[in-house]
Amino acid sequence: MGENLKDMGLSFDEFDERRRPATVTTSFDDVLNRTQSRRGFMKSAAMFGSAVFVMSVWNAAASKAAGRPNFDFEPVRANTLDTVTVPNGYSWRPLITWGDPLWSDGALFDDQSRGSGRCQERVFGDNNDGMAIFLKGGRHVIAINNEYANQSIIDGNRASGLPETADDIFKGKMAHGISIFEMTDKSGAWAPVVDSEYNRRITADTSFEITGPARGHEWLKTKADLDGTRALGTFNNCGNGETPWGTYLACEENFNGYFSSSDPSYEAPDTFKRYGIGNRDWGYGWAKTDARFDISKHPNEPNRFGYVVEVDPLDPTSTPKKRTALGRLKHENVELVLSADKHVVVYMGDDERGEFLYKFVSASQYDAKDNPLDLLDDGTLYVAIFNDDMTVSYTHLRAHETSL
Q: Which of 55-64, 70-79, 301-310, 391-400 reaches the highest mean pLDDT?
A: 301-310
Provide the whole-model pTM. Answer: 0.87
Query: Is the predicted pLDDT of residue 360 greater than 70, yes or no?
Result: yes
Q: Distance (Å, rounded) from C-alpha 15 to C-alpha 151?
A: 15
Q: Which amino acid is at 7?
A: D
Check residues 196 and 273 and name the one with the higher pLDDT. 196
Assign 48 a pLDDT band (cuts: 50, 70, 90). very low
Average pLDDT over residues 202-218: 98
Average pLDDT over residues 272-298: 95
Q: Distance (Å, rounded) from C-alpha 2 to C-alpha 260?
A: 9
Instruction: Give pLDDT, residue 399.
Output: 45
Beta bridge partner(s), residue 232: 207
Mean pLDDT of the chain: 88
Instruction: Give pLDDT, residue 258.
Output: 97
Give the tens place of pLDDT for each residue, 113-125.
999 999 999 999 9
Instruction: Give pLDDT, residue 169.
Output: 98
Task: State what percent of residues in the chain have pLDDT above 90.
Answer: 70
Which of 232, 327, 310, 240 lies closest to 275 in space, CA to CA? 327
Give the tens place of pLDDT for each residue, 125-168.
999 999 999 999 999 999 999 999 999 999 999 999 999 999 99
Instruction: Give pLDDT, residue 371.
Output: 67
Assign 51 a pLDDT band (cuts: 50, 70, 90). very low
Query: Is the predicted pLDDT of residue 310 greater than 50, yes or no?
Result: yes
Instruction: Give pLDDT, residue 55.
Output: 43
Instruction: Give pLDDT, residue 130.
Output: 97
Contact present, 137 and 106 (Cβ < 8 Å): no
Contact present, 113 and 119 (Cβ < 8 Å): no
Give backbone dihedrals phi and psi of 386, rounded to 5 degrees, phi first.
Answer: -95, 125
Which of 129, 101, 113 lies closest to 171 in space, CA to CA? 113
User: Range with the lowest mean pLDDT among 23-32, 51-60, 216-225, 258-267?
Assistant: 51-60
Instruction: Give pLDDT, residue 389.
Output: 83
In the chain, what are the helix, strand and coil shares in percent, each to the nearest 5? Answer: 25, 25, 50
Q: Distance (Å, rounded) from C-alpha 373 to C-alpha 377?
A: 9
Query: Is the predicted pLDDT of residue 38 greater than 90, yes or no?
Result: no
